[in-house]
């Protein structure tokens, strides 16, 4: 174990170097460009054995990753925002073919209007593609999560997206503890693909036409395998904790034991909210935080158990569903809590779209308001767009 200083992008590129995949096919996009750039340097300096395929688009990036993974390689890529949107079609194909590809992603808003800063609309827009999703709160977690996600992906044959917040994490220098290369290699082990298109002894047709008579069974089998991801994740995260001393649950609770209210959010905002909770605790206010880290698959029972104990919860969503019903975390959490024995009053704060800054005073306001909800015993405003001009 050694300690170095790295930005989120550098941390992710460093994890990729230590994973040393067979193929990386990628296309640069702000704010994830550095990941591809730094990795190219590792290739140019012979620090990895990877074939780096500098494709002409994100669509081709993931298409080439699918080809490389079908050929039996350990495969990774990196993207953000529009790049993930351009990959959208192939996300489903990678997952449907059970290819454990891992994407090091930086969350950035989707155009229009065009904007390069953070929100979660890119990955939230790909929730149904069949990829595991991990949202990280800082560089350390991004580094650790890429290594964990790769192992989970390969064990479950489910591809994974590990994401950080644009600029807030991707470009911020932080203290980072890294494993030795050999430790990472020992942890992930040698990749043994379930099948290979380069297996000449047993020629197969991959990605055939699958009609009304078989498609549904194959989809059902994929859904079934997807349901095993959380269990595998819990096991691998535990193994990783034993190795590194850092444990990352699918759902994190912070100072929730005796709390009446909590914020439920993700990413770097959760780290900011921890600071706010510490301050509130000093004032004797019983407030906590629940951080969603894995949003695909949904840790349903964990969410039910964690949120069920509060009187009120404010979800903070960094994207909107355009359903006229708030953000995706709010919508899905309401669904999860529908049959919970104990459930909190639940409100939604959509915040930080296009990188709009979220600071301690914004989060304090949310805690104040959710405290009011408890006092009144009812919700006045179900969905709030936080910090938008003309909204207050």
Partner 1 sequence: MASLKELSKRTEGLVGGHRACAGCAASTAIRQILLAAGDKPTVTGICTGCMEVVTTIFPYTAWNVNLVHNAFENSAATVSGMEAAYRALKRKGKIDAEIQFIAFGGDGGTYDIGLQSLSGAIERRHKMLYVCYDNEAYMNTGYQRSSATPYCAHTTTSPAGTKIPGKPQKRKDLTEIIIAHEPAYAAQATPGYYMDLIRKVEKALAADGPSFINVLSPCVPGWGYPLDQTMNISKLAVETLFWPIYEWQDGKYKINIKPREPKPLVDFLKLQARFRHLLKPGNEHLLEELQAEVNRRWEVLLRKEQATNG
Start-to-end C-alpha separation, the chain: 49
Q: Does 50 bind partner 1 (CB under 8 A)?
A: yes
Question: Please, which residue, 207 or 231, has the CB nearer to partner 1?
Answer: 207
Nearer to partner 1, 74 or 120 (CB): 74
In the bound state with partner 1, the residue whose beta carbon lies nearer, of 199 and 359, is 199
Rounded CA-CA distance 103/76 in Å is: 6
Identity of the residue, 198 or 360, whose beta carbon is nearer to partner 1 in the bound complex: 198
Secondary structure E strands in 56-159: 75-80, 102-107, 132-135
**Closest CB to partner 1 among 28 and 327?**
28
Between β-strands 251-254 and 287-292, what pairing exists: parallel, antiparallel or unpaired? antiparallel
Toward partner 1, which CB reaches closer, 71 or 340?
71
Q: Which stretch binds partner 1 (CB under 8 A): 38-46, 53-61, 233-241, 279-287?
A: 53-61
Residues 199-238, mask of contacts with partner 1 (x by CB under 8 A)? xx--xxxxxxxxx--x------------------------
55 sits near partner 1 (criterion: CB under 8 A): yes
> Rounded to whole angstroms, how far apart are CA atoms 388 and 138?
26
Give the angle subtended at the CA of 315 by the CAs of 312 and 317, to the nearest 5°.
170
x-or-dash pattern for partner 1, window 8-37, by CB under 8 A? --------------xx-x------------
* Residue 194 touches partner 1, criterion: CB under 8 A: no
Phi, psi of 383, deg, nearest 5: -130, 125
Nearer to partner 1, 71 or 172 (CB): 71
Least Å from the CB of residue 190 to partner 1? 10
Least distance (Å) from partner 1 to the CB of residue 195? 10
Counting contacts by CB under 8 A, is residue 182 touching partner 1?
no
For residue 147, which of 19, 14, 235, 295 has the smallest C-alpha distance? 19
- Interatomic CA distance for residues 182 and 210, integer angstroms: 42
CB contact set of 129 (below 8 Å; sequence gap of 6+): 88, 91, 92, 95
Q: How many CB atoms lie within 10 A of CB 388?
A: 12
Among 47, 51, 225, 260, binds partner 1 (CB under 8 A): 51
Taking the least distance from each CB to partner 1, the nearer of 24 and 306 is 24
Tell whether residue 189 is a contact of partner 1 (CB under 8 A). no
Q: Measured between alpha carbons, how far is 178 from 184 in angstroms, rounded to an integer?
A: 9
Q: CB of 311: closest distance to partner 1 in angstroms?
A: 49
Phi-psi region of 217 (alpha: psi -120 to 50; beta: other; left: phi over 0): alpha
CB of 221 to partner 1, least distance (A): 13
Q: Measured between alpha carbons, how far is residue 51 from residues 25, 70, 76 in Å? A: 8, 15, 11
Per CB under 8 A, which of residues 66..95 are in contact with partner 1?
66-73, 75, 89-90, 93
> Which residues in this chain contact partner 1 in the complex, by CB under 8 A?
22-23, 25, 49-51, 53-57, 59-60, 63-73, 75, 89-90, 93, 197-200, 203-211, 214
């Amino acid at each position: 174990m050694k300690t170095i200083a790295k930005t989120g992008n550098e941390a992710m590129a460093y994890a990729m170097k230590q994973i040393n995949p067979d193929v990386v096919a990628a296309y640069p996009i702000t704010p994830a460009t550095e990941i591809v750039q730094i990795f190219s340097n590792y290739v140019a300096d012979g620090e990895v054995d990877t074939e780096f395929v500098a494709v002409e688009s994100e669509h081709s990036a993931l298409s080439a990753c699918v080809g490389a993974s079908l050929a039996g390689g350990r495969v990774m890529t990196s993207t953000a925002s529009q790049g993930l949107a351009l990959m959208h079609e192939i996300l489903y194909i990678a997952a449907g073919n059970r290819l454990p590809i891992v994407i090091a992603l930086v969350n950035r808003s989707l155009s229009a209007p065009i904007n390069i800063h953070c929100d979660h609309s890119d990955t939230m827009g790909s929730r149904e593609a069949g990829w595991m999703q991990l949202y990280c709160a800082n560089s350390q977690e991004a580094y650790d999560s890429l290594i964990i996600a790769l192992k989970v992906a390969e064990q479950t044959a489910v591809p994974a997206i590990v994401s950080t917040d644009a600029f807030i994490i991707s470009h911020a220098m932080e203290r980072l503890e890294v494993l030795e290369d050999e430790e990472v290699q020992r942890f992930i082990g040698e990749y043994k693909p379930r099948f290979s298109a380069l297996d000449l002894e047993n020629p197969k047709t991959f990605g055939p036409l699958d009609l009304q008579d078989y498609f549904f069974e194959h989809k059902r089998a994929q859904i079934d395998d997807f349901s095993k991801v959380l269990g595998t994740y819990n096991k691998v995260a535990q193994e990783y904790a034993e190795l590194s001393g850092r444990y990352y649950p699918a759902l994190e609770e912070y100072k929730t034991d005796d709390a009446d209210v909590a914020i439920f959010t993700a990413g770097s905002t959760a780290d900011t909210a921890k600071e706010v909770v510490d301050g509130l605790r000093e004032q004797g206010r019983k407030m906590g935080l629940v951080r969603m880290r894995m949003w695909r698959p949904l840790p349903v029972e964990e969410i039910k158990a964690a949120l069920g104990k509060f009187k009120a919860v404010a979800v903070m969503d960094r994207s909107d569903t355009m359903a006229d019903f708030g953000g995706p975390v709010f919508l899905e959490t309401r669904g999860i809590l529908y049959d919970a024995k104990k459930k909190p009053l639940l409100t939604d704060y959509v915040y930080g779209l296009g990188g709009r800054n979220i600071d301690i005073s914004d989060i304090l306001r949310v805690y104040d308001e959710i405290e009011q909800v408890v006092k009144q015993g009812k919700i006045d405003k179900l969905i709030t767009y936080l910090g938008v001009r003309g909204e207050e």
